[in-house]
A and B are shown apart, each in its own frame.
Chain A
Amino acid sequence: MVLKVGFIVNPIAGMGGRVGLKGTDDVLNEAVSLGAKPLAPDKAEETLRDFLSNYSTKKDVICWFTCSGSMGFDELKNVGIKNVEMVYSPSCVNTSSDDTKKACEIFLEKKVDLILFCGGDGTIRDIFCVVDKKVPVLGIPAGVKMHSGVFGVNTRAVAKMLHEFVNHSLTVGDVDVMDLDEELYRRGEWKVKLFGVAKGIVEPTYVQVGKTVFESISDDAVRDELAEHIIDEIKKYDDFLFLMGSGGTIDYIARKIGLDNTLLGIDAVYNKKMIDKDINEEGILNLLEEYPKVKVILSPIGAQGFILGRGNLQLSPAVIRKVGLDNIIVVSTPSKLVSIPFIRVDTGDKDLDHLFAEKEFMMVVIGYRLSRVVRIQTNNF
């Protein structure tokens, strides 16, 4: 079967980083005047070359759809890929996020099986606006900020993932799209938001079905187990308030329980009923006055495995101190833990981070009544 891949390069991704601009959103001209050179095209070609030389056996397994010039066509041509259909040309030489979005609309019309892109968090944010969860995305890391879970760790890893996706040994699962507010960041504030949950390429979870026979089970089946576990916990601690964290895993669990959850926000559940939604820090602190016994359910967010400090700033140091470290329940699909060797915490409060550091590890729930040890890292990035 021929796989249809939409390929898009954000040629300006990462240009701000080399000249100390912490991102390229809205400041391209400044970056260029400071001497920034494009690097995304090289990263894209590096990935394609690695894929061709190490993995590609049959040349025709992929049918490529792409954009003109350095938005994809040049890179494919330079590495010698022939099976290419150019489906979009930007109207002016300086490409913009509009071009990314327009190209993705055409990719959807062409019914691609995967969108391979080269860029950073800004690029995936643009792609996600159009693609949502309709098609899985895989990112070649070339941006300044890459907090999202769609990126391979380097070009080599992306080439391998692409190969394994083509060969069906990797599967499709939820990945977080993150973004740092660049305006705030350039003013010295650090605020990474969870932007949404896209479809990405993930390692499947395997279960043993015979002595030497394993079957991969879907991400949803694993999350069903996690939901069963959380239902039991809610029943067991029936006098506790449960704060449901943000992200795809917890959203799935909450919906399985029958709660109308907020994907990107913090919700409060008491006695199996949603009592407040998308609560800010002040709202949470008020709730804690009323409900002294609280458990927080968190799942690692983004590419680096943060449970606190990325995408859930409402769970401030004051909130966490009141809740208590022992009342934090961390859940994760085993496949996510394959790519995240550590749980990371960055509360912005050194003393609180230190309390996590002292714990050294956390028990992370990976199935129904099943948990495993995962180390905690608290140093910042």
Chain B
Amino acid sequence: MLQGGKSIMNRNAAAFLKEEYEDLVNKNLDWKLRILESGSTPHALVDGKKILMLCSNNYLNLSNHPRLIKGAIDAAKKYGAGSGSVRAIAGTMKIHIDVEKKLAKFKHTEAALLYQTGFAANAGLIPQLAGEGDVIISDELNHGSIIDGVRLSKADRAVYKHKDMGELDKVLKDSDKKYRRILIITDGVFSMDGDIAPVDKIVKLANEYGAMTYVDDAHGEGVIGPDGRGIGAHFGIEGKIDVEMGTFSKAFGVVGGLVAGSKDLYNFAYNKSRTWLLSGSHPPAVSGAQLAAIEVLETEPQHVKNLWDNTKYFKKELKSMGFNTGESETPITPVMVGDSGKAKELSNSLFDEGIFALPIVFPMVARDKARIRVMMNAGLTKKDLDFALEKFEKLGKKLEII
């Protein structure tokens, strides 16, 4: 018998699994998984229904690009289905190194390191960059995986108001005298509003105080900057951000995390990140597709152009209908609804009309800022966009949003 516990005989080891799941279901907090029965294409089959995909992160529609598919097949044929090990033991293949070299060149940085996923990059690297006696300064709207990475660190944490450089300056001033190392972390493109962090100003402030900068560019990689080279290129400060973290899972159309920066960062990161050291490396097919994705971005500028043309057209038309599209500066297009119940209703009605777009409701966003988050895609045609716009107008009027 343990104090406060039950005797071993009476303990039901697995009962909590069912109980806690049912609790989530009762509170309507469980994930209701939609099943894709086709590829993640602009016209996809979801739960048996043909829909227009407006909520994938496949911004450039590269997940279905023939060169990426061929890259995956060729690499699998040449190197096999799996890599056989973690990178550190015997799982580093030449094709991994090829991707890293090509990526560094693409991003105009000294080096780039692949991680298994973007989450693995944040959770593995952030706790190594700051520890006891250090401080991590973070935008209040940073993505959950950053927050988890920060939690794994022994460093103190300070939060500043979203994109508020005055507050960041104040935290830096306060931290300057208290801490050994200072790490500033921000999303490059914020995933809920689609706005861009003032990374040029953040880097400038960081330099004043000798702070390190870490930008999670998951939604900017392949999207912003010339040829989609990301946040550093967008502000013309390539190589000045200490850590440019990104992902192959969104615009690049594959999967995997990445970190770009100096050669020193590269060496430090792969020797210290536990996620990197303790999980298997990417299968060759993944790397083959990644290589092809970078090549496509370098040689086929039309995808980034299409993405932005679509974004501009869609936003302009939504606005002329009377919709509010918030503060977005990127293909993430919030269609503001206000009330959470209404946003859910609009999303459901859109799905019935053949449009797949997810509602973002309180407390992810403020109580009166519920919205539908539309993710633009380079593969959508003008006809597709007009179809979507027509449905938005019809339902927007019906629900008295416009």
Binding site for B on A (CB under 8 A): 169, 206, 208-216, 360-361, 363, 366, 369-373
Q: Closest residue to A363 on the B side, CB-wise?
A: B174
Are A373's CB and B156's CB within 8 A? no
On chain A, the residues within 8 Å of B140 by CB distance are 372
> B147 at the A/B interface (Cβ < 8 Å)?
yes
> B29 at the A/B interface (Cβ < 8 Å)?
yes
Please, how many angstroms separate the alpha-carbon atoms of A372 and B147 in the complex? 14
Please, how many angstroms separate the alpha-carbon atoms of A211 and B363 in the complex? 12
Other A-B pairs, 15, CB within 8 Å; known A209-B29, A371-B159, A373-B170: A169-B362, A169-B367, A206-B363, A208-B147, A211-B144, A212-B364, A216-B363, A363-B158, A363-B174, A369-B157, A370-B158, A371-B158, A373-B158, A373-B161, A373-B171
Please, how many angstroms separate the alpha-carbon atoms of A373 and B158 in the complex? 8
On chain B, the residues within 8 Å of A216 by CB distance are 363
Are B360's CB and A372's CB within 8 A? no
Which residues B342-367 have CB closer than 8 A to chain A? 358, 360, 362-364, 367
Q: Closest residue to A232 on the B side, CB-wise?
A: B156
Minimum distance in angstroms from B175 CB to a CB of chain A: 9
Are B170's CB and A360's CB within 8 A? yes
On chain A, the residues within 8 Å of B292 by CB distance are none
On chain B, the residues within 8 Å of A214 by CB distance are 363-364
Q: Within the complex, which residue of A211, A212, A370, A372 is in contact with B160, where a contact is CB–CB below 8 Å?
A: A372
On chain A, the residues within 8 Å of B161 by CB distance are 373
Please, how many angstroms separate the alpha-carbon atoms of A366 and B160 in the complex? 12
User: Known contacts being A206-B363, A212-B364, A214-B363, is A361 close to B144, with CB within 8 Å?
Assistant: no
Which residues B337-390 have CB closer than 8 A to chain A? 358, 360, 362-364, 367
> B167 at the A/B interface (Cβ < 8 Å)?
yes
Minimum distance in angstroms from B264 CB to a CB of chain A: 27
> B31 at the A/B interface (Cβ < 8 Å)?
yes
Please, how many angstroms separate the alpha-carbon atoms of A15 and B29 in the complex? 49
On chain A, the residues within 8 Å of B170 by CB distance are 360-361, 373
Please, how many angstroms separate the alpha-carbon atoms of A360 and B174 in the complex? 11
Please, how many angstroms separate the alpha-carbon atoms of A372 and B358 in the complex? 31
Q: Within the complex, which residue of A210, A215, A369, A373 is in contact with B167, where a contact is CB–CB below 8 Å?
A: A373
Q: Closest residue to B157 on the A side, CB-wise?
A: A370
On chain A, the residues within 8 Å of B129 by CB distance are none
On chain A, the residues within 8 Å of B367 by CB distance are 169
Please, how many angstroms separate the alpha-carbon atoms of A371 and B116 in the complex? 31
On chain B, the residues within 8 Å of A371 by CB distance are 156-159
Q: Closest residue to A211 on the B side, CB-wise?
A: B144
Q: Within the complex, which residue of A206, A212, A363 is in contact with B171, where a contact is CB–CB below 8 Å?
A: A363
Please, how many angstroms separate the alpha-carbon atoms of A361 and B172 in the complex? 12
Are A372's CB and B158's CB within 8 A? yes
Minimum distance in angstroms from A363 CB to a CB of chain B: 5
Q: Closest residue to A361 on the B side, CB-wise?
A: B170
Q: Within the complex, which residue of A169, A211, A212, A372 is in contact with B159, where a contact is CB–CB below 8 Å?
A: A372
Please, how many angstroms separate the alpha-carbon atoms of A363 and B167 in the complex? 10
Minimum distance in angstroms from A192 CB to a CB of chain B: 29
Q: Closest residue to B148 on the A side, CB-wise?
A: A208
Please, how many angstroms separate the alpha-carbon atoms of A214 and B367 in the complex? 13
Please, how many angstroms separate the alpha-carbon atoms of A78 and B231 in the complex? 61
Minimum distance in angstroms from A360 CB to a CB of chain B: 7
Minimum distance in angstroms from B127 CB to a CB of chain A: 13
On chain A, the residues within 8 Å of B254 by CB distance are none
Are B155's CB and A370's CB within 8 A? no
Are B364's CB and A370's CB within 8 A? no
Are A369's CB and B29's CB within 8 A? no
Please, how many angstroms separate the alpha-carbon atoms of A369 and B155 in the complex? 8
Please, how many angstroms separate the alpha-carbon atoms of A379 and B258 in the complex? 50
Minimum distance in angstroms from B339 CB to a CB of chain A: 12
On chain A, the residues within 8 Å of B156 by CB distance are 369-371
Please, how many angstroms separate the alpha-carbon atoms of A152 and B242 in the complex? 46
On chain A, the residues within 8 Å of B174 by CB distance are 361, 363, 373
Please, how many angstroms separate the alpha-carbon atoms of A60 and B170 in the complex? 51
On chain A, the residues within 8 Å of B171 by CB distance are 363, 373
Please, how many angstroms separate the alpha-carbon atoms of A235 and B81 in the complex? 53
User: Known contacts being A208-B147, A215-B29, A361-B170, is A373 close to B155, with CB within 8 Å?
Assistant: no
Are A213's CB and B157's CB within 8 A? no
Please, how many angstroms separate the alpha-carbon atoms of A363 and B177 in the complex? 13
User: Known contacts being A214-B364, A215-B29, is A373 close to B157, with CB within 8 Å?
Assistant: no
Please, how many angstroms separate the alpha-carbon atoms of A210 and B32 in the complex? 13
Please, how many angstroms separate the alpha-carbon atoms of A51 and B171 in the complex? 41
On chain A, the residues within 8 Å of B157 by CB distance are 369-371
User: Known contacts being A360-B170, A373-B161, A373-B171, is A210 close to B31, with CB within 8 Å?
Assistant: yes
Mask, B145-189, CB within 8 Å of A = 1, is 001000000011111110000010011001000000000000000
Minimum distance in angstroms from B107 CB to a CB of chain A: 26
Please, how many angstroms separate the alpha-carbon atoms of A214 and B29 in the complex? 8
Minimum distance in angstroms from A121 CB to a CB of chain B: 29
In order of increasing CB-CB distance, the 6 nearest A-B pairs are A372-B159, A206-B363, A214-B363, A370-B157, A373-B167, A369-B156
On chain B, the residues within 8 Å of A208 by CB distance are 144, 147
Please, how many angstroms separate the alpha-carbon atoms of A214 and B360 in the complex? 12
Minimum distance in angstroms from A339 CB to a CB of chain B: 14
Please, how many angstroms separate the alpha-carbon atoms of A211 and B117 in the complex? 15
On chain A, the residues within 8 Å of B364 by CB distance are 212, 214
On chain B, the residues within 8 Å of A369 by CB distance are 155-157
Minimum distance in angstroms from A246 CB to a CB of chain B: 25
On chain B, the residues within 8 Å of A370 by CB distance are 156-159
Minimum distance in angstroms from A336 CB to a CB of chain B: 15
On chain B, the residues within 8 Å of A363 by CB distance are 158, 171, 174
On chain A, the residues within 8 Å of B31 by CB distance are 210, 213
Minimum distance in angstroms from B24 CB to a CB of chain A: 8
Please, how many angstroms separate the alpha-carbon atoms of A371 and B167 in the complex? 12
Please, how many angstroms separate the alpha-carbon atoms of A371 and B364 in the complex? 20
